[in-house]
Chain A
Amino acid sequence: MTGAVIEIQGLTKRFGRTTAVDDLTFRVEPGVVTGFLGPNGAGKTTTLRALLGLVRATSGTASFDGRSYTELGDPLRTVGTALEAASFHPGRSGRDHLRVAAAAAGIPTGRADEVIEWVGLGSAARRRVGGYSLGMRQRLGLAFALLGDPGVLVLDEPINGLDPEGIRWIRGFLRSLAAEGRTVLVSSHLLSEVQQTVDRVVIISRGRLVYQGTLDGLESGPGRVRVDAADRAALADAVTAAGGSIELAHDGLHVSGLDAEAVGRAALAAGVVLSLLVPEKEGLEDVFLELVGEGGIR
């Protein structure tokens, strides 16, 4: 199976005077899991809703292999969607919710039973959704997305509200879906939440694209070295003499401007016994925060 390419071209959406999405352009390829990241209010959900024809873009286009969502002949069989505000009638059972969607898409009822079993809701399938926990609603939303066995999956904050076991399950599940050749787009406001799952990321802030590419590309920030010794004063002198700048922290000295080997040599030359020497890359989360600015996370 090969999923469609998602293409967002110059997408802009204004609500009154607020610009939620501002001239956004990016591409999502099949076969990998792509993370769609940004702080709350960055415009992720609006972008996804515009892509799905629920929100009318002010300008620009969003398409699947060149066709807009409303032009898809069999939308649920092409694109599976789980949106953040998973919306269910509380008086309808989980299974009936899927049956309603299956009927509209011409999908046999048996498939509804299959996917609800798949996401682990088999025993709750005939209970009314009003009594479901947030995690169960997330799973039902995922079942809705999988109903048409689609080549493209668009999931808005799918990890929200899942328990640790559920998180592990969904991570593996997303990777296997991508490995089958599907296009998987997963939004999140926390990089750490999807870090282990995604291959590529699209990061937006205040409606604008700030980064698009691989996670590795994001990681190549300037490194630093964490070092410690019983005689910190001597170590500090040696490192400064060698040209490094230091910062005292609770877990040792943070050295920038030198690599680990240079720090080791300086210590050796000064006869300081090291108790710790760790080369560190700048945390991904830090890079992410830097990129999205004060957009808000904290």
Chain B
Amino acid sequence: MLRSIRSEALKVVTTRAWWILAIVLFGYIALFAGGMAALFGTISDQADALGPGSSIPPLVYSFATSVGYVFPLLFGALATTTEFRHQTLTPTFLATPRRGEVLGSKVIVGAAWGAIFGVVGIVATVGVGGLILALVGVDPLLDSTDTWALLGRMVLAMALWGVIGVGLGVLVPNQVASIVIVLAFTQFVEPTLRIAAAFWEWSAEVGRFLPGAASDALVGSSFFTSLSAGGGANLLEWWQGGLVLAGYAVVFIVSGALTTWRRDVT
């Protein structure tokens, strides 16, 4: 198993996708967090408008996950679909014929790189966003254990998104289809569903279990939930959010393992 994990990690670092994604993630999140930090910082007198008890730094920091989760998701999906697309499953399965072992290694590597993306996103939000907050006179709260717990949960969320990406890639081996699903779902379908779900009580109950909502619950702070009516009240507990997110990962991986992963490699 260790050999297979090493091989999978080597596959990641010997191609360019991961650091291109990491650079884009950093730039994108730094821009978001920096801009929002400047905006909120200057209107901090009215910050209470964002919801009771919400404070600005966690909100800015959590952009790394609330906006950035698409990156580990995309990374994980690419990591598996690339093997189908370039038919590299042949050498992969020749070297490691026990396919479950290969998939397990991909899960571990997907989680590891998801966590790396989490750290990159945090460097962007805390580095750029925190700096700007400090500059405009808002306490960046970096001496607070709550802040560090938040950052830890963000890394965990990103790791889980990496695994979900791997699962999606196994379930939908067509690379283009997989990418379209990731982008459409994260940028359009889920945001729309979450807004729509908030209208009725029963749908709000269901909406909490959407993957993005579960992820925000796990992190415990998100720009989107703060904006929506009722603030974070609709979210699950952080550990429940984590379990729901992990549940998605397990369902995707297992159903992929039982279908496309078992197929003939021709």
To the question of whether A and B form a pair in one complex, the answer is yes
Residues of A bordering B, CB below 8 Å: 45-46, 49, 52-56, 69-70, 72, 75-76, 81, 83, 85, 87-93, 96-97, 99-101, 103-106, 144
Task: Known contacts A75-B94, A88-B88; decide if A54 and B265 are in contact (CB<8 Å).
Answer: yes
Interface residues of B in 9-62 (CB under 8 A from A): 10-11, 14-17
Residues of B within 8 A of A105 (CB): 3, 95
Residues of A within 8 A of B14 (CB): 92-93, 96, 99-100
Residue contact A54 to B88, C-beta cutoff 8 Å: no
Residue contact A104 to B86, C-beta cutoff 8 Å: no
Complex Cα spacing A93 to B82, Å: 15
How far is the CB of B169 from the nearest CB of chain A, in Å?
15
Residues of A within 8 A of B4 (CB): 104
Residues of B within 8 A of A88 (CB): 86, 88, 91
Residue contact B266 to A55, C-beta cutoff 8 Å: yes
Confirm or deny: B97 has a beta carbon within 8 angstroms of a beta carbon on chain A: yes
How far is the CB of B233 from the nearest CB of chain A, in Å?
47
Residues of A within 8 A of B94 (CB): 52, 54, 75-76, 81, 101
Partner of A104 from B3, B17, B82 at Cβ < 8 Å: B3
Complex Cα spacing A253 to B14, Å: 65
Residues of B within 8 A of A97 (CB): 91
Task: Known contacts A89-B15, A92-B15; decide if A100 and B90 are in contact (CB<8 Å).
Answer: no
Residue contact A103 to B3, C-beta cutoff 8 Å: yes
Which B residue's beta carbon lies closest to that of A95? Answer: B14
Residues of B within 8 A of A49 (CB): 264-266
Residue contact B91 to A87, C-beta cutoff 8 Å: yes
Number of A-B residue pairs having CB atoms within 8 Å of each other in the complex? 82
| 26 chain-A/chain-B pairs, Cβ below 8 angstroms | A49-B264, A49-B265, A49-B266, A53-B93, A54-B264, A54-B266, A55-B264, A56-B264, A69-B97, A75-B94, A85-B90, A87-B86, A87-B88, A89-B11, A89-B82, A89-B86, A89-B88, A92-B15, A93-B14, A96-B14, A101-B91, A101-B94, A104-B4, A104-B7, A104-B92, A104-B95
How far is the CB of B3 from the nearest CB of chain A, in Å?
5
How far is the CB of A95 from the nearest CB of chain B, in Å?
9
Which B residue's beta carbon lies closest to that of A148? Answer: B95
Residues of A within 8 A of B7 (CB): 100-101, 103-104
How far is the CB of A103 from the nearest CB of chain B, in Å?
4
Task: Known contacts A99-B10, A103-B3, A104-B4; decide if A76 and B87 are in contact (CB<8 Å).
Answer: no
How far is the CB of B238 from the nearest CB of chain A, in Å?
37
Ranked 8 nearest A-B pairs via Cβ? A87-B87, A104-B7, A104-B95, A96-B14, A103-B7, A54-B265, A70-B97, A55-B264
Interface residues of B in 64-118 (CB under 8 A from A): 82, 86-98
How far is the CB of B112 from the nearest CB of chain A, in Å?
15
Residue contact B95 to A76, C-beta cutoff 8 Å: yes
Residues of B within 8 A of A81 (CB): 94
Residues of A within 8 A of B266 (CB): 45-46, 49, 54-55
Which A residue's beta carbon lies closest to that of B264? Answer: A55
Complex Cα spacing A97 to B15, Å: 10
Among A75, A92, A104, chain B packs the most CB atoms within 10 A around the CB of A104
Task: Known contacts A54-B90, A70-B97, A144-B91; decide if A100 and B265 are in contact (CB<8 Å).
Answer: no
Residues of B within 8 A of A104 (CB): 3-4, 6-7, 92, 95-96
Among A49, A54, A96, A97, chain B packs the most CB atoms within 10 A around the CB of A54
Task: Known contacts A103-B7, A105-B3; decide if A91 and B93 are in contact (CB<8 Å).
Answer: no
- A53-B93, A101-B95, A103-B6 known; 8 new pairs, CB 8 Å cut-off, are A54-B90, A54-B93, A55-B264, A85-B90, A89-B88, A91-B15, A100-B7, A144-B91
Residues of A within 8 A of B86 (CB): 87-90
Complex Cα spacing A55 to B91, Å: 13
How far is the CB of B2 from the nearest CB of chain A, in Å?
9
Which B residue's beta carbon lies closest to that of A49? Answer: B266
Residue contact B3 to A72, C-beta cutoff 8 Å: no
How far is the CB of B18 from the nearest CB of chain A, in Å?
11
Residues of A within 8 A of B95 (CB): 75-76, 101, 104-105
Residues of B within 8 A of A103 (CB): 3, 6-7, 10
Residues of A within 8 A of B90 (CB): 54, 83, 85, 87
How far is the CB of A157 from the nearest CB of chain B, in Å?
14
Complex Cα spacing A88 to B98, Å: 20
Residues of A within 8 A of B265 (CB): 49, 54-55
Residue contact A106 to B264, C-beta cutoff 8 Å: no
Residues of B within 8 A of A106 (CB): 3
Residues of A within 8 A of B6 (CB): 103-104
How far is the CB of A44 from the nearest CB of chain B, in Å?
13
Complex Cα spacing A54 to B95, Å: 11
Which A residue's beta carbon lies closest to that of B2? Answer: A106
Complex Cα spacing A46 to B266, Å: 8
Residues of B within 8 A of A45 (CB): 266
Which A residue's beta carbon lies closest to that of B101? Answer: A104
How far is the CB of A57 from the nearest CB of chain B, in Å?
10
Partner of B98 from A52, A70, A144 at Cβ < 8 Å: A70
How far is the CB of A67 from the nearest CB of chain B, in Å?
11
